[in-house]
Amino acid sequence: MSRIIAILAGIAALIVVVVGFQTFFIVEQTQQALVLQFGEAVRVVREPGLKMKIPFTQNVVFYDRRLLDFEPPPEEVIAADQKRLVVDAFVRYKITDPLVFYQAVGTEQNVTLRLGATLNGSLRRVLGNELLSKLLSPERARIMVEIRDDVAGEAKQFGVEVIDVRIRRADLPKENSEAIYKRMQSERAREANQYRAEGAEAALGIHADADKQVTVIRADADRQAQILRGEGDAQAIKISADAYGQDADFFAFYRSLEAYRKTLGADTTLVLSPDSDFFRYLQHRPPMK
């Protein structure tokens, strides 16, 4: 009899444990819960702690109440100036209405698919009306706010609040980038050649002007030198003439001595007649006045 009582007690305890597990559930600080009865939502539990539900007929779905990040793969969009862009963006959101969230998307995995499609549509719609230059300017902040508001408006139907939308990178496609880089290289090479040509032209002008100035300076210097030589020669001739006029015999004697000095030397050989007029001052001394 006691053995049967023990078995019954064990069965009762097991039933109590099972019923307890089916009746009580714990909501963590980072969670919010939705209680379902036969697939229909009956209440939302937002406060953390130990909660109760009807066993076996109700079940609980938990959702994260923290700020969540969603990073879709990069998408290619076309700007208003027909420039193709590869845009890498991300979304930060929170589940604010578990009931609507459950009815609209069901799971967090499904909401990422819906948010990805919404973000993709917003990027194409907003960036399709903007120039690429604005996306790379301070106008980018305004564009981000416009995209965020657009995504947030669409996400409300999922029970989700979009906190922020950001574009991390907006690059040109690889083939476009290579073409642009080549065009930039060609443009820079053209500008460099133009600068070199202008520099060479300026250098030629500077050299020509310098050569002209050198020619003018040399011509002026030669002219001044010729004038000074002429004046010097004139003064020398005048001095010589004055000296010759004062004593013609002495001047003739002096000139003969100068001729002897320049003509006769250690290695000089002359064959002249002894009575040559060249030696007249060596044969006798002219009377001095």
178 domain-assigned: no
pLDDT per residue as tens digits for the range 214-257: 999 999 999 999 999 888 888 888 887 777 777 677 777 777 77
CATH number of domain containing 89: 3.30.479.30
Residues 76 and 151 in one domain: yes
Domain total of the chain: 4
What pLDDT digit, counting tens, does each position of 100-149 carry? 999 999 888 888 889 999 999 998 888 888 887 787 788 888 888 999 99
Alpha carbons 64 and 60: distance in angstroms, whole number: 13
- 225 and 260 in a single domain? The answer is no
Between 175 and 119, name the one with better pLDDT: 119
- 100 in the same domain as 158: yes
What does the pLDDT read at residue 280?
63
- Shared domain for 157 and 223, answered yes or no, is no
Alpha helix positions (H), the chain? 2-23, 98-104, 108-127, 132-135, 139-155, 174-246, 248-263, 280-283
Q: Which two tokens stand for residue 125?
A: 């719609």
Are 97 and 104 in contact by the 8 Å Cβ rule? The answer is: no
Domain boundary at 64, 82, 106, which? Answer: 64
> What distances in angstroms separate CA 118 from CA 2, 6, 111, 124, 161, one per listed residue?
68, 62, 10, 10, 13
Instruction: Quote the domain boundaries for residue 154.
Output: 68-172
Is 162 part of a structural domain of the chain? yes
CB count within 10 Å of CB 87 equals 22
Q: Is residue 185 part of a domain?
A: no
Please report whether residue 180 resides in a domain.
no
Q: What is the pTM of this model?
A: 0.55
User: Which positions ≥6 away from 25 have C-beta within 8 Å?
Assistant: 33, 50, 51, 52, 53, 60
